[in-house]
Amino acid sequence: MELVLSLGMVGLATAVILNLGGVAARSTFSVSELQYVNIQLKFQALLFVVALLVLLVLLLINKENLSIFLAPGEVTAATRGVSLLGIGEGTSWLVLGVLFLFVITLGTTVFVYLQFRTSGGSWKQLFRYLPWVLLFSLTNSFSEEVVYRLGVIVPLYGRIEPGYIMLISAIAFGAPHLRGMPNGLIGAIMAGFLGWLLAKSVIETHGIFWAWFIHFVQDVVIFSAFVMAAANKALQPTTDRDAAPLG
């Protein structure tokens, strides 16, 4: 029953999220001369509402698990080994978190550079809109962690094996990135691995610190590229994907 509830809730939230870009683009509300900022601000506000609704449902489904995982957690907790990735049994998440933060951010940066290398932009343009980049990264990473990590882990933890929970989170997070950023099949695989890793961190540390922080840094890279491109008028948010990059 919990599996059905979790999949149904995350699936419904995803369907709503994938359509928020069009809703945001139709609104005339604006706070900036850069259209991308205006659309993204409205998108993030709507996404945050979705996240709050998911939290409300989780509170009703399993208040105890929500209270456990909606917290920073033990950031130095020991991890369960994964020989395929060279992760030794008992490795501290402090070491693992920093390591994966560097590796994953490097991969995201390379992928985003290849996607945006012809779109122009400059560091000067980025610094001008940096507060918006940081705000969007903060809200986007939190909202998506609520939906794709807590939305899966809270209902299922203690009911099915953690390995299956991580797999479900990976698929739920990776599939929408066929239309997100990073996008396409490679982007979906990258996002799927990230979803698996972040779910592992939440389960093993009993908190969202590493998941939220690692996700936040990836979003900083992604939103920086979108803002620089939009500011350079080489890429304008004329599609839902441009307006609403899942990251």
pLDDT tens-place string over residues 156-195: 999 999 999 999 999 999 888 776 666 678 878 888 999 9
In degrees and rounded to multiples of 5, residue 72 shows phi and psi of -60, -35
pLDDT band for position 233 (cuts 50, 70, 90):
low
Which residues, 6 or more positions from 218, have their beta carbon under 8 angstroms from its beta carbon? Answer: 104, 105, 108, 141, 194, 247
In this prediction, residue 234 carries a pLDDT of 42
In this prediction, residue 143 carries a pLDDT of 97
Tell me which residue range forms the domain holding 107: 2-243
Q: Which of 243, 247, 210 is nearest to 93 (CA)?
A: 210
In this prediction, residue 181 carries a pLDDT of 67
Q: Is the confidence at residue 235, as pLDDT, over 80?
A: no
**Range picked from 73-87, 159-173, 225-239 for highest mean pLDDT:** 159-173
Q: Give me the amino acid identity at 127.
A: F
pLDDT band for position 137 (cuts 50, 70, 90):
very high
Q: Is the confidence at residue 125, as pLDDT, over 80?
A: no
179 and 207 Cβ atoms separated by less than 8 Å: no
Q: Is the confidence at residue 113, as pLDDT, over 90?
A: no
Q: Is the confidence at residue 71, as pLDDT, over 90?
A: yes
159 and 179 Cβ atoms separated by less than 8 Å: no
pLDDT band for position 59 (cuts 50, 70, 90):
very high
Q: Is the confidence at residue 239, as pLDDT, over 60?
A: no
Q: What is the pLDDT of the chain when averaged over all its residues? A: 88
| Bridge partners, residue 82, by sequence | 87
Cα distances (Å, whole numbers) of residue 202 to 87, 183, 184 = 16, 24, 26
Structure tokens at 156: 């299922």
In this prediction, residue 124 carries a pLDDT of 74
Compare 247 and 2 and report the one with higher pLDDT: 2
Burial of 111 (0-12, 13-18, 19+ CB in 10 A): buried
How many domains does the chain fold into? 1
Question: Which of 35-44, 106-115, 151-160 shows the lowest per-residue confidence on average (mean pLDDT)?
Answer: 106-115
Question: How many C-beta atoms surround the C-beta of residue 53 within 10 A?
Answer: 16
Q: Is the confidence at residue 213, as pLDDT, over 50?
A: yes
Q: Is the confidence at residue 246, as pLDDT, over 80?
A: no
In this prediction, residue 237 carries a pLDDT of 47
Q: Is the confidence at residue 69, as pLDDT, over 80?
A: yes
In degrees and rounded to multiples of 5, residue 118 shows phi and psi of -100, 5
The per-residue DSSP string of 25-80 comes to: HH----SSSSHHHHHHHHHHHHHHHHHHHHHHHHHHH-HHHHHHHSS---TTPBPP
